[in-house]
Amino acid sequence: MLVLACAGLAVFLLAGAGAKTTVPELRGLPVGGVNARAERTHVHPRFSRRYAEVARGIAVAQAPTPGRRVAYGATVRVILSAGPPPVKVPAVVGRSAASATRLLSDVGLRHALTFVPAPGSTPNLVLRQAPAAPATAPRGATVALAIAETPRWRTLTTFHGVDSGKSVPVGIRGSRWRVSYAMSYREGCLLLFTCLGPSAQARDLKAGKSAGGFDLSEGDSKTHVFDTGPGLYAVEVDGGTDSAEWSMTVQDYY
């Protein structure tokens, strides 16, 4: 009986050692699906990756091929997609926004536009990009573009006073800037037919000299434009013979 039992065990072990299984179809599955199917069919997956035009992490190839008979525990090499191959980021700085976005789209990249003040620059040109050429990026990645916006009047400060006064220092970035003002006399004028009201001048704080001036006259929404270019300035108001209330707004154009 002992001899028969040992013989049966030997036959069983030899049969198990030669057990076969069929290689399953693993292509098209994600990693979790590959592992689950491989476990059910008693094979062992070994993973590697390569670029492919399918989603990252999906099995795109295997060896041995599906349907082959192999021993239990045999290794099946499985290649997973590393996603589409990266593309070269084109240089678009200096191009128009329309041209830049079209070029990015042609190579499979997205774009995000941010319009920024750019004194002295042509509107709608690309000033900066990130990532910059000649970097590479995954297809479908977003390239951030800084675009020169169209110049407009931007308020820097508003101030008011009676007779004399002065603005805070204002940093001018554009090629021109303006002062919009309103003024009214507080009482009658000293002279019967002529009022001697306040005047204003712009002072270049770095050069320490006047950058031009103008007289205020009664009324609203008057404007004086300066073409001094960038710099640091202050607007100073000198009171006239006749007392007057005034208000001013300094605006830069860029």
pLDDT digits (tens, 9 = 90+) for 102-142: 999 999 999 999 999 999 899 999 999 999 999 999 999 99
Quick one: average pLDDT of 218-227?
85
For the chain, the domains span: 21-81, 87-148, 153-253
What is the Cα–Cα distance from 8 to 234, expressed in whole angstroms? 107
Task: Compute φ and ψ for 216, nearest 5 degrees.
Answer: -90, 145
- What is the CATH T-level fold of the domain 87-148, as seen in this structure? Trypsin Inhibitor V; Chain A (3.30.10)
Residues in the chain: 254
Residues 138 and 129 sit within 8 Å (Cβ to Cβ): no
Q: Tell me 3's DSSP state.
A: H
> So what CATH class is 153-253?
mainly beta
Q: Which of the four pLDDT bands, split at 50, 70 and 90, describes residue 187?
A: confident
Percentage, residues of the chain above pLDDT 90 = 84
Q: Which CATH architecture has domain 21-81?
A: 2-Layer Sandwich (3.30)
Query: Which range has the worst mean pLDDT, 124-138, 201-215, 219-233?
Result: 219-233
Residue 189 confidence (pLDDT) above 90:
no
DSSP string for 150-198: PP-EEEEEEEEEESSEEPPPEEE-SSEEEEEEEEEESS--SSSS-----
153-253 matches 21-81 in CATH topology = no
DSSP string for 11-43: HHHHHHHT-EEEPPP-TT-BHHHHHHHHHHTT-
pTM for the predicted model, two decimal places: 0.65
